[in-house]
Amino acid sequence: MSSTIVVALDTRDRLAAKSIVAELAPHNPWFKVGKALFVSKGTAIVEELMENGANIFLDLKFHDIPNTVAEAARAAADIGVRMLNVHCLGGRKMMETTINSMADLSSRPLVVGVTILTSMNQGDLDEVGVREPLQEEVLRLARLARDSGLDGVVCSPQETELIKSELGSDFLTVTPGIRPAWSATDDQSRITTPADAARMGTDYMVIGRPIIKHQRPLEAYESIQKEIQSAVQ
């Protein structure tokens, strides 16, 4: 199955966000609302985008005690977002409580767990006191997320194959750290091209700056889409 592109609307500017959404509308991609847009424009922008039919991944990476995360996640589910995330490091009880908080919903958003941020490398991990090899740590957290009832994880596309082979192909991988050959790496560390991510079986590719900072976002989007399609043909 082909990967779904999720465009990260990393801007504080409502009009800039809306202009990208309008430009990409013919392709009906998913959009990700993260901390910058949410903190500046709140639930209003999420609701506004959804009114126009957009599928929204609310990327607030909840990390707190179980009750607090579950309440926040339930509030996001009630708005109608299609995907939300929590940090796996919040632990089993936090993830289980979050899923349980939506048990009465006939359809709930996908809930995915952030493993190790794609901006981090092995040295960064050592520095915060995690001595395991990075891929082992990602897999350990992914297994905990799966056992706690989550639908998948946020990881680097470099880890997709490992996670799918160990935890099953239905366990979703949502991967930032996507960089076409023509774009800058920025602050990302564990990256692949869209073609490699597609070949490795990533389910959702989260892509921000290569599209939204491009002079012509639609052209960038279509070039990435073409790259993905030819990789999996």
Interface with ligand LLZGTKA7 (CB under 6 A): 8, 10, 34, 114, 117-118, 154, 176, 186, 188, 206-210
Q: From the candidates 61, 93, 124, 196, which is the catalytic residue?
A: 61
In the complex with ligand LLZGTKA7, the residue whose CB is nearer, 64 or 124, is 124
In the complex with ligand LLZGTKA7, the residue whose CB is nearer, 8 or 150, is 8
Residue 202 CA from chain centroid, whole number: 11
User: Residue number with the shortest CB distance to ligand LLZGTKA7?
Assistant: 208
Check if 126 is active-site: no
64 is in an annotated binding site: yes
Element of type H or E holding 94? helix 92-100
213 C-beta neighbours (distance < 10 Å), count = 14
Check if 93 is active-site: no
Q: Which long-range contacts (CB under 8 A, 24 or more apart) does 121-125 make?
A: 121/189, 121/190, 124/189
Is residue 120 within 8 A of residue 94, CB to CB? The reply is no
Residue 227 CA from chain centroid, whole number: 20
Check if 124 is active-site: no
Minimum separation from the CB atom of position 74 to ligand LLZGTKA7 (A):
22
93 is in an annotated binding site: no
Is residue 95 within 8 A of residue 149, CB to CB? The reply is yes
Distance between CA 205 and CA 185 in Å, rounded?
A: 16
162 is in an annotated binding site: no
196 is in an annotated binding site: no
In the complex with ligand LLZGTKA7, the residue whose CB is nearer, 118 or 148, is 118
Binding-site residues for substrate, in ranges, read: 10, 32, 59-68, 118, 179, 188, 208-209
Task: Tell me which residues are annotated as active site.
Answer: 59, 61, 64
